[in-house]
């Protein structure tokens, strides 16, 4: 994963992959330490670059943007608490993932059922990158699928296993376009996983047929 962290420190990651790195760093002190080292190296290299002239009032604009972010966070948290216990799992997520999940949940009306025991929230799609938060009940499995590009899955709560291994909180599973897998949640609790993929998923079986028919 070293190339992932290096790309993050250099500012080359898409927002979804950057969110994954930041969330993992919030969960694991070793990752946070490695990021600090990478950012220090990147900062030293940046100091060698010729300075750019900032736009007028750039500092004031940055402060206003920070205020807007904080106001949005407050509104999202208040809305989530008012919605009741069904969102308690989202409230327990580490930042910055919690903010994104609450915002998406408010827009989509909660978790959307994918298949028996598995639901998800879309955290933002683009033509190239798809991001989803999965909730997998104990012992349930995500439908078997392959990938159009690389897929990274961060376990936020609980754990899951597939043909490549067993993953717990703070672990990242990596799948390539040549891989097909079916994550199965551990039996001792709900698994919450944050998955980011390049180009989306290709399901097999019935879901694969429906995916072809609907074009999604």
What does the pLDDT look like over 157-174, one tens digit per residue?
A: 999 999 889 999 999 999
Cα gap 68→93, rounded to integer Å? 21
pLDDT at 88: 82
Closest among 42, 19, 159, 27 to 99, alpha carbons compared: 19
Cα gap 184→99, rounded to integer Å? 27
Cα gap 38→62, rounded to integer Å? 24
pLDDT at 213: 47
Cα gap 28→153, rounded to integer Å? 15
61-75, 161-175, 192-206: which range is least confident on average?
61-75
Cα gap 41→9, rounded to integer Å? 9
pLDDT at 108: 86
Q: State mean pLDDT over 25-38.
A: 89
pLDDT at 66: 59
**Tally of residues, the chain:** 216
Residue tagged 């250099």 (tokens): 10
* Cβ 193 vs Cβ 141: under 8 Å: no
pLDDT at 189: 92
């Amino acid at each position: 994963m070293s190339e992932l962290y290096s790309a993050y420190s250099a500012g080359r990651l898409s927002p979804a992959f950057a969110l994954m790195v930041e969330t993992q760093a919030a969960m694991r002190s070793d990752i946070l330490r490695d990021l600090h080292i990478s950012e220090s190296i990147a900062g030293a290299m940046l100091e060698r670059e010729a300075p750019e002239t900032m736009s007028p009032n750039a500092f004031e604009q940055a402060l206003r943007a920070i205020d807007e972010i904080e106001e949005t966070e407050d509104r999202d948290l208040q809305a989530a608490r008012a919605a009741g216990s069904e969102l308690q799992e989202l409230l327990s997520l580490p930042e910055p993932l919690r903010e994104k999940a609450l915002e998406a949940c408010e827009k989509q009306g909660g978790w959307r059922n994918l298949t028996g025991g598995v639901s998800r929230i879309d955290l933002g799609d683009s033509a190239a990158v798809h991001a989803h938060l999965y909730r997998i009940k104990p012992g349930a499995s995500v439908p078997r699928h392959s990938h159009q590009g690389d897929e990274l899955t961060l376990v936020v709560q609980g754990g899951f296993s597939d043909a490549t291994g067993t993953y717990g909180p703070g672990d990242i599973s990596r799948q390539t376009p040549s891989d097909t897998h079916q994550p199965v949640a551990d039996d001792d609790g709900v698994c919450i996983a944050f998955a980011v993929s390049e180009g989306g998923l290709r399901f097999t079986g019935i879901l694969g047929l429906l995916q072809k028919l609907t074009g999604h």
